[in-house]
Structure 1
Amino acid sequence: MTSTHAPEMQAAARQLMHGRRRFLTVAGAAATLAFATNLPGTGGAEAHAASVTDFDARRIKEDPFSLGVASGDPLPGSVLLWTRLAPRPYETDSALPKARIRVEWEVAHDERFRRTVRRGSVTAHPEFHHSVHVEVDGLAPDRVFYYRFRAGSWVSPVGRTRTAPARGARVGELRLGVVSCQAYHDGYFTAYKHLAGEDVDAVFHLGDYLYEYAVNAVGGERKYTDRRLPAHFNRETVTLEDYRLRYGLYKSDPDLRAAHAAHPFVVTWDDHETENNYAGGTPENDVPPEEFLLRRAAAYRAYWENQPLRVPQRPTGPDMRLYRRLRFGRLAQFDILDTRQYRSDQAYGDGWQVPGPESENPVRTMTGAAQERWLIDGWSNGTRPVWNVVPQQVTFAQRRSQSAPGFKLSMDSWDGYPASRERILAGAESAGVKNLLVLTGDVHVSYGLDIKRDFADPASRTVGTEIVTTSVASGKNGADRPADWERLTGANPHMKHYNGRRGYALLTLTPEQARADFRTVAAVTTPGAAVTTAASFVTEAGNPGLKPV
């Protein structure tokens, strides 16, 4: 990204950098001021509200529900419903005025809405790009519901969602979809078409919902269409307008919309929702830190606007509390992590490197101290579930590049933060966690990994299981056996599965076992590929370790 700052300001910023990069919070207050003042629901919004008018939704001339509907973060008596009004999502203002628009919503037991259980209205504010987040309470637990929105004479598509079981409920089975990494320019979202038809209770999205990279007029690999994209997509996302437009592009995909309408999503981000491989307040490239924090604030704001997230996740400037906890009866607890916002900078300049004193420094952290304490304390407090599931972003188990000495590890994954990983595993052991499941995205391949108590000793105890889902589209078509398949599986005996095709994972939890089905499609650079199951594994409750089915 080209800086607009004067050369002397760039030089001053570089002098503040430590080594290659350094975490700084310079101008954090400026970023907060730019992105958190005069917003609806904030203390300073009263004067601004007087200057914002109301717009009669009956005057909308084109379908405002072009981006579909979504639901998320199911609780025993509550669901979160989302939509965004966007008659023309490829335009900066979505063809709507800078005015408040009233949107009605409705929840029912049936998809024809003959048995309505809740209804109300909400304001779509221009400050939030006319997105709405409706927290519907007072619902029965563990039930399927249907929902829709209305703006003027326009009615949205019908969405299907469900509430979580009551905290003390005995749950016989829980079925989940697991997805990540959907680069629009790398191919079609065919996996979502198939996932929309799966019988799952929720979908966990583990990051890289969008990519910041430029998308050309034909949509990269999406060449089988007559549509031509506007030129403003053919640049990297930097500003709030850029990120908002990019979500409009991604959410215009019919298969992604179908998956959101079919299932509630639980989302967390990785790096590309902001910038590749950023770490905390440290950017990928050598730009002034205050410039990056403004970019991060824009990315976080657009993320919240376009995802089914609750009010506690609404960002304040460049900060957003995304880590949170969900519970599904006595069967499973989900501790959703954020491994981007609080991490130490990658050691040795990032990439795959030989580990050493810098990467093994015990003060280095993947989660930040507060999130780490929250995670470990959450395992110790309250009734212990059968399964403790940790949905997060980057590979947790060790991945050696080769068997011989001098092997390299990924500095962007937990291998670059081994002391942080050790604290997590020690915390799980101290809390008496018996069935640890880590869900991961990021790497555009699927893995099934045993989590060892000591990765240096293949004979050490297996203390958990990691399920790494492949990408929806990132990396284009991929291959069943990537070029490094033999080298990686040979160097890592705890790696029980490795496949490089696109797709998603299905995770089925019962009191007795967890089953992972790795679902793949043969191609994403052409539309319409069928889905198959590449492999299936189970791990038994109380007896960790993946076994093929």
Structure 2
Amino acid sequence: MDRRKFLKWGSFVTVTVATTGLTACGGDDDPAANPTPPATPDNSPVFTFQQGVASGDPKPDSVMLWTRVDGSNGGQPVNVRLQVSAQPDFSTLLVDSTLQALPEWDYTLRNKVTGLSAATTYYYRFLTGSQTSPVGRTRTAPAAGTPLSQLKFAFITCQDWSVNHWAGMEELVAQDLDFVVHMGDYIYETVGAAFQTGKVETRHTQLRLPDGTAGDDGSRYATTVNDYRYLYKTYRSDPRLQALHARFPVIAIWDDHEFSDDCWQDHQTYSVTDDATPRLARRRAASQAWFEFMPADVRFDAADASFQNIQIYRSFTFGNLATLVMTDERLYRADHVIPEQAAGSEIGSRYFVPKATLAGLEAQKMTAAAGALTPVSILGDTQRGWWQAQMDSANTTWKLWGNEVSLLRMQIDGTQAIASLIATGLVQSNAALAPLQAAMTTALVTDLTTAKGDGTYPTPAYASLKALLLANAGISNAVFDAAIAPALNAQLPPVTLLDQYILNADQWDGYNAERKSMMAFLKAQGIGNVVALTGDIHAFFAGPVMDDYDAATPAPVMVDLVTAGLSSNSFQSYFKSVVDNDAAFAAAKPLVYVEQNGAVVNTFNNTLSAFNPWLKHVNTDAQGYAVITLTAAKLSCSFHTLKPIADGVAPAQPATASTTVVEVLAGTPAVNVI
């Protein structure tokens, strides 16, 4: 057998088959093979491996290996040798193949090595000219059905180059993991956006896209394949990200920023009218760059002229312990139920959306589609059917779902929240009213609702509150009207805040009918021990996913575990910006933060917990990552909150400031905070 032969497969992916061990000084079929490449002549181009090496998508008998050759070759292919061994010193070679890095794929290499042994550690490297790449370490998955006592892995998300720091990657490299799951936002397509100004490591220089398109806020966003390639190459230039890839196989999916913020299909959403126009070329460029730079065993067809010329949803099995189903929640999703054009802004469309309006329009779209979920779907009909089949056929103890956007309901009752704030203010001005605080809140909800309904807002009659204070505090109506009512009226927000709101309709809350359908499927089929691994929202959350969040008594079906962004700005910081800069939401400031002795105190955690009792753990102002330890009896998730950046420098190791552990016991869709 000629070890240097390989099969062309699916665009530029190649496949090599591992052999029985052959000595590194050459085998009987290739006496010229040698782990040390010959010296490069002085006049020959020199190639390097500046983006390191990577492995991904571990199966029991295969793994995908990746590198990129950097250096000028006049647009000609570059021959690269791949060597794989079960020994770290490469004393015996299982693969010693010559591959070609092609200019049309930006000199990236993606080689699937098959014929490997299950649950085995392997080492790999690439060689060209006089250069040898860093050595990568990878591990195949245990064979399906194999009894496993434990599985340990991390899941991460949202690693903006231009915000905060990447010390968490360095910390992860030191851990003993089987693999890493990346939930997307591996790159951020924008450069110089408002949210990317401020604190960032000095070692991360300012990004400058080779092409790019100007945004309304002075930023630029990636548009061409060269732009997206530039971002991947720059991100991969960081030695900490390189070390993470070289240490563990990575199972990756994308979210939105690999193409465009809050995207759907081939549509962008930077302005009110943006998503009216398909961005086919941009979507294809983003997909190609992701395919080129991620070590993922997926299908990409450059000859397919559509924006759906790539399929990245796929599944993995780890012994008898876990099935991991990775979904794509951008390429097939329908437009947001309330388009930006209809709301006039992302506020009211994607964020802070009236719940009743959202539900009504979702029902209208389904009625127009004869009850089909197609126009209100994140997954699309085909992928949803595939997801159901994967869940139904999984015969492992746990069914893990790599899910980009949170399944947990996150809502606020504006009337209740404002009433609570006013009642708190009354107690602060008159401590004797403290025993009446809960009753005052209830009375104020009634009074505000009445005033909104009869048109007397923002000068409510306060009939319920007056009666309460007269009967229990001796405050006459005349005193109330003269001394209390004017102060209350002065702090009332716009009437639009007196409603029930969904905080983020870009996640599953904005596609509620499909979520309910999927939970109904799990219940009907008796499929238990389902846990979603989620990113996107830049916060830590944990809680059960209910069959119907709007039911009188919602029932838990599965669990969602959400990790904060590894570096991206926090969820709470975005809402802080809204209440600080949008007059319509200024009255909601105490729901997001308060200032005490000059320090900002996060109140958003308590606000969300108060209106969403299924949220068992909430940390809305953090960067970090999550580590899962899985056994047949329980899933243990450790949320690592990272230390902040200081004067442009990442914290010294250990980078973790605090850890919160949550557990899910087998057989019960519930979260216990340890």
TM superposition score category, shorter chain reference: 0.7 to 0.9
Q: CA deviation at 1:359?
A: 3.4
Cα deviation, 1:73-116, whole Å, max 9, x if unaligned, reads 100011100111124xxxxxxx4431111111111122221232
1:300 maps to amino acid = S
- Aligned equivalent of 1:367: 379
2:256 maps to amino acid = D
Match of 1:406 among 499, 502, 527: 499
CA distance in 1, matches of 2:609, 2:99: 52
CA distance in 2, matches of 1:495, 1:207: 23
- Aligned equivalent of 1:337: 327
Name the SS of the counterpart of 2:626 in structure 1. strand
- Aligned equivalent of 2:166: 189
Q: CA deviation at 1:431?
A: 2.9
Alpha carbons of structure 1 residues 210 and 482: separation in structure 2 relative to 1, 3 Å? farther
Q: CA deviation at 1:352?
A: 2.3
Cα deviation, 1:40-97, whole Å, max 9, x if unaligned, reads 689xxxxxxxxxxxxx98766555211011100100011100111124xxxxxxx443
- Aligned equivalent of 1:117: 94
Alpha carbons of structure 1 residues 225 and 322: separation in structure 2 relative to 1, 3 Å? closer
- Aligned equivalent of 2:615: 495
Match of 2:185 among 208, 219, 222: 208
Match of 1:312 among 289, 299, 322: 299
CA distance in 2, matches of 1:228, 1:495: 38
Name the SS of the counterpart of 2:637 in structure 1. strand
Is 1:440 matched with 2:534?
Answer: yes
CA distance in 2, matches of 1:427, 1:57: 61
The correspondence of residues 450-461 of structure 1 with structure 2, limited to 5 A, is 450-457=544-551, 459-461=553-555
Alpha carbons of structure 1 residues 498 and 205: separation in structure 2 relative to 1, 3 Å? same
1:82 maps to amino acid = W
Alpha carbons of structure 1 residues 226 and 140: separation in structure 2 relative to 1, 3 Å? closer
Alpha carbons of structure 1 residues 219 and 453: separation in structure 2 relative to 1, 3 Å? closer
Is 1:535 matched with 2:547?
Answer: no
- Aligned equivalent of 1:224: 202
Alpha carbons of structure 1 residues 178 and 280: separation in structure 2 relative to 1, 3 Å? same
* Partners of 1:208 and 1:442 within 8 A in 2: yes
- Aligned equivalent of 1:547: 672
RMSD: 2.7
Alpha carbons of structure 1 residues 169 and 478: separation in structure 2 relative to 1, 3 Å? same
CA distance in 1, matches of 2:229, 2:241: 17
Match of 1:65 among 28, 42, 49: 49
2:246 maps to amino acid = A
Structure 2 runs not aligned, ≥5 long: 1-9, 15-38, 213-218, 341-349, 367-372, 417-497, 574-599
- Aligned equivalent of 2:605: 485
- Whose Rg is larger? 2
Match of 1:75 among 48, 59, 67: 59
The correspondence of residues 376-455 of structure 1 with structure 2, limited to 5 A, is 376-381=388-393, 384-402=395-413, 404=416, 406-409=499-502, 410-455=504-549
TM-score, with structure 1 as normaliser: 0.83
1:386 maps to amino acid = T
Cα deviation, 1:311-358, whole Å, max 9, x if unaligned, reads 525564422101111111111111100010111111223222012312
* Partners of 1:175 and 1:200 within 8 A in 2: yes
CA distance in 1, matches of 2:63, 2:553: 45
Is 1:177 matched with 2:188?
Answer: no
Name the SS of the counterpart of 1:427 in structure 2. helix
Cα deviation, 1:269-310, whole Å, max 9, x if unaligned, reads 111111111111332143586761110000000110010012
More off after superposition, 280-289 vs 122-131: 280-289
Alpha carbons of structure 1 residues 39 and 447: separation in structure 2 relative to 1, 3 Å? closer
Match of 1:281 among 253, 266, 274: 266
Q: CA deviation at 1:485?
A: 1.0
Is 1:354 matched with 2:357?
Answer: no
Is 1:324 matched with 2:302?
Answer: no
- Aligned equivalent of 1:51: none
TM-score, with structure 2 as normaliser: 0.68
Is 1:129 matched with 2:113?
Answer: no
2:667 maps to amino acid = G
Name the SS of the counterpart of 1:433 in structure 2. coil
Name the SS of the counterpart of 1:536 in structure 2. strand
Structure 1 runs not aligned, ≥5 long: 1-37, 43-55, 88-94
Aligned identity (percent) is 29
Name the SS of the counterpart of 2:669 in structure 1. strand
Q: CA deviation at 1:422?
A: 1.2
More off after superposition, 383-392 vs 473-482: 473-482
* Partners of 1:82 and 1:131 within 8 A in 2: yes
Match of 1:300 among 257, 279, 287: 287
CA distance in 2, matches of 1:103, 1:124: 7
Paired residues in the alignment total: 490
* Partners of 1:77 and 1:163 within 8 A in 2: yes
CA distance in 2, matches of 1:40, 1:496: 46
1:384 maps to amino acid = N
More off after superposition, 393-402 vs 295-304: 393-402
- Aligned equivalent of 2:136: 159
Alpha carbons of structure 1 residues 62 and 470: separation in structure 2 relative to 1, 3 Å? farther
Is 1:254 matched with 2:231?
Answer: no
- Aligned equivalent of 1:12: none
CA distance in 2, matches of 1:40, 1:159: 21
More off after superposition, 110-119 vs 75-84: 110-119
Name the SS of the counterpart of 1:334 in structure 2. strand
Q: CA deviation at 1:544?
A: 2.0
More off after superposition, 224-233 vs 325-334: 224-233
Name the SS of the counterpart of 1:83 in structure 2. strand
Which is richer in helix? 2
Q: CA deviation at 1:170?
A: 0.9
Name the SS of the counterpart of 2:331 in structure 1. coil
Alpha carbons of structure 1 residues 458 and 541: separation in structure 2 relative to 1, 3 Å? farther
2:176 maps to amino acid = D
CA distance in 2, matches of 1:426, 1:158: 47
Q: CA deviation at 1:548?
A: 1.8
